[in-house]
Structure 1
Amino acid sequence: MIELEQKDFEELVLVALVTLPDQFRTALKNIDVVVEDFPPMDVLKRTGVANGYGLLGLYQGVPLRDRGPHYSGTLPDKISVFKVPLESSVDTVDELMPLVQHVVLHELGHYFGLSDEEMRESRGDLH
């Protein structure tokens, strides 16, 4: 397990976002990406995850492909990246960066409307 300063971890998330291909990065509309230490208890209950270490990221919102012509005036969708579970999954920063990129990409897949199964079929196991 490693422990980074909050700003250093946020930098890894930012790098994961800015290195996305242009067509994906420019398609991001009305979405916030945040770093949280652990998933909240209500999220664990809703997702059926037994403990906070079992969830690395979470997308909450209306997927882009489900937004109709009347989609407006809503709060931003949210991608949460959970710092402590991610840090506890690796031994080095070199291992952490690809894992953070993987989690961000996976949650963005949900933003674009892909299910876990669709992501596994199209890009390998992103779950």
Structure 2
Amino acid sequence: MSPNGQPLRFAPTKEEIEALALEALGRLPPPFSDYLAHVVLFVEDFADAETLKDMGMDDPFGLTGLYSGRPVGQEAQTGDAPPTVHLYRRPLLDEWVETGVPLDALITHVVVHEIGHHFGLSDLDMHVLEDMVSS
């Protein structure tokens, strides 16, 4: 218990972030949901140094999520890895604290944005999809 008698509250774990992300993915409507069976979700504390370098970023807190893979409609090549969505826990938690946006809404926003890359959506299309998923 904390000094004020409240239960101690710890930052959400990778598993809790993953559960929120999977809930967001589960709310995606068809045809989006039909194409997500092979997308792999990873939750890590931070992007690795190589990823940050490839993104032209120095600050590991600047990247909350990343999609990697061929967009839907592009022909897969032999040896292609499955498409992936990486969520970066520590930057997400910092943004959560800084903005006051509910964590589930923030995770939904990042997941929809990254999945939007899988479908080649514009930013406007991603906002429309996010509104559908958040309703």
- CA distance in structure 2 between the partners assigned to 1:63 and 1:122 by the alignment: 15
Kindly provide the amino acid, as one letter, of the partner of residue 75 in structure 2.
R
Partner of 1:45: 53
Structure 1 unmatched ranges of 5 or more: none
Deviation at 1:104, TM superposition (A): 0.5
- CA distance in structure 2 between the partners assigned to 1:9 and 1:123 by the alignment: 21
With over 3 angstroms needed to count, the CA separation of the structure-2 counterparts of 1:50 and 1:24, relative to structure 1, is same
Kindly provide the amino acid, as one letter, of the partner of residue 85 in structure 1.
P
Structure having greater relative contact order (Cα 8 Å, sep ≥ 6)? 1
Kindly provide the amino acid, as one letter, of the partner of residue 109 in structure 1.
G
- CA distance in structure 2 between the partners assigned to 1:6 and 1:31 by the alignment: 18
Partner of 1:21: 29
Deviation at 1:123, TM superposition (A): 4.5
Deviation at 1:61, TM superposition (A): 1.0
Kindly provide the amino acid, as one letter, of the partner of residue 125 in structure 2.
S
The normalised TM-score by structure 2 is 0.76
Structure (1 or 2) with the larger CA radius of gyration = 2
- CA distance in structure 2 between the partners assigned to 1:53 and 1:16 by the alignment: 22
Deviation at 1:111, TM superposition (A): 0.7
- The percent of aligned pairs where both chains have the same amino acid is 34
Q: 2:98 matched to 1:100?
A: no
Deviation at 1:39, TM superposition (A): 0.6
Correspondence list, 1:54-73, <5 A:
54-67=62-75, 71-73=77-79
- CA distance in structure 1 between the partners assigned to 2:21 and 2:100 by the alignment: 13
How many residue pairs match? The answer is 119
Q: 2:125 matched to 1:122?
A: yes
Q: 2:96 matched to 1:90?
A: yes
Contact 2:112 2:126 in 1 (8 A): no
Q: What SS does the corresponding residue of 1:122 show, helix, strand or coil?
A: helix
Structure 2 unmatched ranges of 5 or more: 1-9, 131-135
Contact 1:30 1:75 in 2 (8 A): no
Question: RMSD between aligned alpha carbons?
Answer: 2.5
Q: 2:120 matched to 1:113?
A: yes
Residues 80-118 of structure 1: CA distance to partner in whole angstroms, max 9, x if unpaired? 01111001112399711111101100011111123xxx2
Deviation at 1:15, TM superposition (A): 0.7
